[in-house]
Each structure stands twice: as structure tokens, then as C-alpha cells.
Structure 1
Amino acid sequence: TPGHVRAVRKHKLAPVFAQQSIREMTRTGRTPQQVLDEAMWGVFQEGWRQGYGADADHLKTEEDADRCIEAGFTFFTIDPSAYVDNEVDTADAATLEAKVAALPWDALETTLADLRRAYLGQHFQVGPYELSFEERTLMQALAKYGGAIAHTARMYRHIAGRMGNRSFELEMSVDETEVPTSPAEHFFVARELQRLGVRWISLAPRFVGRLEKGVDYIGDLEEFEAHLKLHVAIARTLGPYKLSLHSGSDKFALYPLFARHAGELFHLKTAGTSYLEALRAVAELDPPLFREILDFARARYETDRATYHVSALLDRVPKASDVPDDALPALLEQFDTRQVLHVTFGSVLTATDADGRPRFRDRLLAVLQENEETYYRLLEAHFDRHLAPFDAA
């Protein structure tokens, strides 16, 4: 957090210093209370007095939300990806009808006939663009996101009930899915959430192209920009609310586009890139420890990659013994090595030796604690790169 504070002081974005998903908490052996407390101590250390957010990220169950509410989080990111149907884009009409019939219509509080009247034959103006729905477009949006809409409404109502009179903010995320969210689908999701009384501050669609962990955007920038303009127009028209870029770390090619077209309606979400800067510090300060972590990460990668969208290949990641000490930090710039180190963070931090003692965690933390300023310097420089494109927005 101190490194994050030092970067934010020089730029214009409002910070969310406490942010970790339940998945990441589980993999690192942390609790929601620890995440919130440790960010708070970093805030105190740096004398930050301008407020900050606390995001309980990628919540999938009411039980997970309850743990974060109890700890004091005020921003809740709902992850309904388990309820998104990724097969509808290639489904035939009969399959789509069956999928739509199986939706939780009681929770959606409407009927297919009502939705047909609300969307078919209508023309919706969103900024300079016009959207319309054919039968196939509507059925596809319904089948793909109907369950996710119902789940988000259920989670929102549960959180609102638990928070009582306390203020909170909500984000709805469908980024961790296989296929992109079309502008029409984005419009449909937002409009149906509104109908169900859900109030949210940001929405994370699945953008076109590949947004993989720890590396820059992979895809056609012109296509991304064209889609982004439509998504921004929808967010302005139906909100305004922010567009949230998940797996937002290191997407340097995209930041100027968001700054230009979304302006203040943008939420940049990062996480694992700060861990990679910690490893960069270890590579500089304790090469033998970094070598151990790298070889361990190579051994864990095929298992740990299962819950991430990554494409790193192990045969492109050098063995630690093949790299001289002074070249180790540069491995953090290499695509495949970054991803392998990124997605194995949980295994590294929870690994134990034959006696059940932490294998890496205590030594890694000791290096950072004994060389705090090195780690903060690396974080500050890294986040300057993230934040600088938005200074003129």
C-alpha cells in the first residue's frame, strides 16, 4: 500500500487500496479483515488522508459477501460468471429456446412475452449510436445473461439488507467468461438490472480481444476502440456508471483509449502486478530465493493456470540455473515468465516444507520488510506507468 499511495499522490485517480478477491484470499491464506487492516496500516504509514475504497472483489456467494461486510468493506464486486452461458453464440434456435425456458423466471420477475414487447421492434438511442434487437439478439442475450442478472439482483438485495443504512457501492462483473459481451448484451444486462431495482456504480463487460494476467492487451486495437465507444455510450445513457477493466494490470495499450473515450467513467482494477513487483525486488536483492521461486512456479504452472485466462508456454520460461544473477530482474519483462509467476502466487505463498513450515512466504516477506524502500520504489514507478495516461482525462 505505501508504494501505491506514493504513486497515487502524483495523479488524479481515486484509489481503492483494499482490494482482493475471495479466490485470492483463499490462495494466500488471508481473511477479509486482514486485507482491510493491512491496507489501513499502509495508509497510516504514508499519512494518506483523502479517503480510499475497499473492494470485496469477485463475490460469488452470500456467505462470501457476509464475511466482507463484517470486516467493513464498502464496495462489492458481484461475479455471476457461473450463471453466464458461454455456449449461446453458436446455439441453434431450438437450443436457445430451451435455454431461455430454463431460466429462473420467478427471480427475473418478468415473462418472455413482456421482454419481447419491451425490446423487439424498438430502436434505442445511446449517444450517437442506435441499438435494436432482432429475435435472435434478444434470445441470445437472455440465454447468455439471464441467470447472471437474477444472481446479481439476489446478491444486491442480500448485501443491501445486511448493510442497512450504511452506504455501499456495487459492481457487476461478467469479464471472466469465454466470449465477449456485445453492445446489445451490455445494454440488455444494464436495462434489466435497472428494472429489478439494482443500483450499481460500475460494470465490467468481457471486452473483445484477450485481457490476460500480467501482460499487455492482445488483440486488434482498432476493433477494441470501436467496441469501447459503444460500451461508453451505453454506460453514459443508462447510468452514468463506470466501465471496469478487470485484469487491468499492465494493459498499457488500452489506457489512452479509456482516458480518451471514458474519462471519469472508468474503473481500473489491478492486483497481481504488485506481487510481480515484489518478485522483482527479490530478484534484485536475493537472487537465490528468486531462483527457488521461479523453479517452483514452473512446476506449479500447469495446475494453477486452470482458473485463469493465460497463454504462457513453459518451454519459453528459462530454468533459473540458466540465467545469471544480473539478468534475473529482466525476466519480469518477459511475457511467459510474467504469467507463470503471476498465476502461481498462491502456491508460492502457501507452500510448506517437509516439516510443515512456510517454504517461501517468510523469507519473501523478510526481504521486503528489510528493504521496504526498494519495494516501494518499484511499485511507485510501475504504477506511474499505469496512472499517467489518465492525467489529462
Structure 2
Amino acid sequence: MQKAAISRRRNWAKWLQTTSLNLSMQSFKSVEKYTLGMGDRFARQGKAQLAAIAQARTMGIGVTPVWNKSNREHSLVGTEPASVLAEAEAAVAALEWAGGFHVDADHIHLQTVDRFIAPSDFFTLDVADYVGQRATEESIEGFIQENWHLRGRVFIPGLDEPLAIDEQLLRATAEKFLWAMEEAGRIYRYIAERKERNRFITEVSVDETDRPQTPAELLLILAMIAREGIPVQTIAPKFTGRFNKGVDYVGDLAQFEKEFDEDLYVVAFAIREFGLPETLKLSVHSGSDKFSLYPIIRRLIRQHDAGLHVKTAGTTWLEELIGLAESGGEGLTLAAEIYARAMTRFEELVKPYAPVVDIDPARLPIPGEVARWSSAQFVGALRHVPSCPEYNPHFRQFLHVSFKIAAEFGEAYTAALATNEAIIARNVTGNLFSRHILPLFS
């Protein structure tokens, strides 16, 4: 076993020495151990979000904020990526924040990356759409030959059983994932040609695929990423179960724990085996409100002494709605009007998010009924407290994907946010700090 491991390392080292993509010769920006992706649809809650991070720092919890917003979200709201950097810088100045922060170009492709290059220093390369597209035969054969030394039983410290990798698995994994990782390489090099390598962080996302990757597949995917010369800092695999927007995890907790644990061992092994950055860590997408998973994740990252990136996004927008509803009067009326208009465009709003929501239209309240709700009823239905009798996960998921409607209210919506800033900020900060940061990182 020891001889086999030495042989693999020697073979890989030899390949690195002969390739122009030697990762050890590249400089790159290192990511902090714990990072939290914070979305803000309307760029109004930067200070409230950062306040949660600052509060954690006073308790010795070191989490670095990463403001993120995807191209789709910018398009729906009518904003530009530069607005995310402006929001982050304004929050940092207002709170006199001395720690680091990042701005994430979330889920970008070659066709959308240009507008993000200048203001961003964190790039999530989303190549899930390319999974299943076949690379050239020459490339597939090259990958198989370069990783021939992985055939057999790969002993990864910590795993109960060695990974069984044969030629069939090498080929099948290359046929499914290699083109996607080559596309990640093309995006990475495009950014690197326009931005110094030591000025940005790279994440590769393969979470929106048809099924979870096995440990052996994840190992080979990381080999593909190394082959492309990408100094990947975070990897977002697909885990078992449903990671729906804004609600808790649905699935087998024991199976998730097993997969997360195995993936942590594979990442640590790949760092040594392929010369990937030592700061490489797992990323959990649609990670907000996965309350049943947080104790598992917290325990495992401590056990492995591993880093973690968790993306929370639309929950900030939901906390804005909760704050408006709590304020009563015009704020409550506006929240109900947003819902009523959204219901007339149900299919349009839900379709882009279909893989990450489970909404039963029959479980959604009638708009006329919602218009008569009190503040307590609206907040009870929307706030993620499953023990509350009024809580409605279908209502919450639907409003999660309906932020486009609020954007169409224009100044009426942003003015309401300004009028009710204090109550909204309290909700935004409290949600991030008490319900996300503490259970994950404390």
C-alpha cells in the first residue's frame, strides 16, 4: 500500500514537471478558512449583513463575508456587478471593518463573466450545464493515461474502504465530467488573462447535476481541475437530498453525513496528491436555512480541521419582506401586494428555479386572504420556524423566487426599505448571526 502511494505521487510529480500548467508555479489569492456567501438582491442590507459577521468576531468566531450575486439576479433586478462591490465597500466603511471581504461573481460562464471581472475577486465557475458533454477522444485518452496510476485500490486516510478505480470508471468519469472541467479551465484562464491570478479566488461548482458524485468521481474531478491548472480554492459538489431555496434540507441525514465526511477526506487527499492549494475546501450551495445539517457540518469540519464555504442568498430578501410585514401599515400592504402580483406570474417566476424548489400551488394561500392577514400572520407564514403553526414552506419558497416583482415596484419598494430600515436590519442581522453563523461556526 505504501509503495503504491509513493508510486502515484512520483507519477503525478513527473507529470506536473512536464506540463505548462504546474500549479506550484502559479500565484493565487488564498481564501480564508471560513467564509459565508451573503446575497442581497437589492443591495440595501450590506451593513446589516456585515454586522452579523462583526458580532461573531467579538465572540472569537472568524468568518469572512463574501457578497455574491449571479448574472441572472442582476438581470432580473436591473443592477450591475459593480453595485455589489459598492455595497460591500460602503458597509466596510460604515462599520470600520478591519477584516477581509470578497465579492463573488456567482455562477458565471464565459458568456457572462466580462461584466464581473473588474469588481469581483471571487469567481464561482458554474459548469454543471456542461456535465455529460463529451470531451474529445484525444483528451479523454490523455486523461486516462495521465491517471493510470490511480487504477486499483486507492487508500485514502480516514475512509473505511479504499476507492476502487478501474479503467471503466476512469473512462466513464472522463466522458461525463472532463469537458465540464475543461470549460472551467477556459473560464479560469480567460479571467486570469484579464486579472492577476493573485487577485482572485476560484470556486468550481458541480452541485446542479443529476446525482451526487461518488468519492471516486470527486477525486477524479479534482484531478481534472488540477490538469487544467486551476488553483481551485473551493469545490461545490452535489450532495444527496434536496437543497431547496430558503427551507430546510429534505433527505437522509445519515447519508448526507457519510457523503460530507467522505468528501472531506477526498479533498484532503487530493490536495497532497495533485498539488492543489492547501486552502481548498468544500462549498455548500443553497446552504441557507439547512438547520438540520448545521450540527453535522459543524462537527465534521471541526473533526477534520477543515475549512468551509456556505452560500446563503435569497434569505436576505425574505428578511426584508418579514421586516416590512412586521412594520404593519403600508409595509404590510406592500408585502401582500408583491405576493398578489407574483401569484399571477407563478410559472414565469418558478421555472428558472425549478431544480431547487418544491412548491405545491395548492398549498399557497389565496392573495385575497393574504391581503387580510395581520402582521403576525404574514410573518408567521414566511419566517422559517417550522414549529410555528402558521409557517408555510410553499409560501416561503415562492416568495424566495419572486424578488423580480419587488424590483418592478421600483422606488416604492426601495423607499419602503429605507422607511423601515431599523426593523429590517434587525431581522437581517439576527437571521445571519443566530440562525446561520452560530450553529455553523461557533
Q: Shorter-chain TM-score: what band?
A: 0.7 to 0.9
Counterpart mapping for 1:87-236 below 5 A = 102-105=134-137, 108=139, 111=142, 113-114=144-145, 117-129=148-160, 130-164=162-196, 166-236=198-268
Counterpart-to-counterpart distance in 1, 2:108 and 2:117: 11
Listed one character per residue, the Cα deviations across residues 211-248 of structure 1 (whole Å, up to 9, x for unaligned) are: 01110100010110011110011112223411000001
Asked if residue 294 in structure 1 is aligned to residue 339 in structure 2, the reply is: yes
Aligned partner letter, 2:282: L
Aligned partner letter, 1:304: L
Contact 1:119 1:132 in 2 (8 A): no
Contact 2:343 2:367 in 1 (8 A): no
Counterpart-to-counterpart distance in 2, 1:50 and 1:83: 36
Within the candidate set 25, 29, 36, 2:78 is matched to 29
TM-score (norm 1): 0.87
**Match in the other structure for 2:364:** 317
**Match in the other structure for 2:54:** 9
Contact 2:64 2:99 in 1 (8 A): no
**Match in the other structure for 2:380:** 330
**Match in the other structure for 1:345:** 403
Shift of the alpha carbon at 1:13? 4.0
Listed one character per residue, the Cα deviations across residues 16-67 of structure 1 (whole Å, up to 9, x for unaligned) are: 3421111111111111111211222122222222121111110111x52222
Residues 17/366 of structure 1: CA separation in 2 closer, same or farther (3 Å cut):
farther
Secondary structure class of the residue paired with 1:365? helix
Counterpart-to-counterpart distance in 2, 1:272 and 1:9: 21
Counterpart-to-counterpart distance in 2, 1:139 and 1:345: 43
After superposition, the CA RMSD in angstroms is 2.0
Counterpart mapping for 1:250-329 below 5 A = 250-263=289-302, 264-285=306-327, 286-308=331-353, 309-323=356-370, 324-326=373-375, 327-329=377-379
Counterpart-to-counterpart distance in 1, 2:50 and 2:123: 22
Aligned partner letter, 2:297: F
Aligned partner letter, 1:104: T
Residues 312/123 of structure 1: CA separation in 2 closer, same or farther (3 Å cut):
same
**Match in the other structure for 2:92:** 43
Residues 302/165 of structure 1: CA separation in 2 closer, same or farther (3 Å cut):
closer
Asked if residue 361 in structure 1 is aligned to residue 403 in structure 2, the reply is: no
Shift of the alpha carbon at 1:381? 1.2
Counterpart-to-counterpart distance in 2, 1:227 and 1:7: 30
Shift of the alpha carbon at 1:164? 2.8
Secondary structure class of the residue paired with 1:278? helix
Aligned partner letter, 2:218: H
Shift of the alpha carbon at 1:343? 1.1
Secondary structure class of the residue paired with 1:139? helix
Within the candidate set 57, 62, 75, 2:122 is matched to 75
Contact 2:245 2:357 in 1 (8 A): yes
Within the candidate set 248, 269, 274, 2:287 is matched to 248
Residue range with higher mean Cα deviation, 250-259 or 294-303: 294-303
Contact 1:17 1:53 in 2 (8 A): yes
Secondary structure class of the residue paired with 1:177? coil
Residue range with higher mean Cα deviation, 8-17 or 380-389: 8-17
Secondary structure class of the residue paired with 1:9? helix
Shift of the alpha carbon at 1:166? 4.4
Listed one character per residue, the Cα deviations across residues 125-168 of structure 1 (whole Å, up to 9, x for unaligned) are: 24334212134433332222111111011111111121136421
Contact 1:103 1:146 in 2 (8 A): yes
Q: Percent identity, aligned pairs only?
A: 33
Residues 165/111 of structure 1: CA separation in 2 closer, same or farther (3 Å cut):
closer
Structure 2, unpaired ranges of 5+: 1-45, 272-277, 384-391
Residues 184/166 of structure 1: CA separation in 2 closer, same or farther (3 Å cut):
closer
Shift of the alpha carbon at 1:257? 1.4
Contact 2:178 2:224 in 1 (8 A): no
Counterpart-to-counterpart distance in 1, 2:66 and 2:258: 31
Aligned partner letter, 1:118: H
Counterpart-to-counterpart distance in 2, 1:372 and 1:18: 20
**Match in the other structure for 2:38:** none
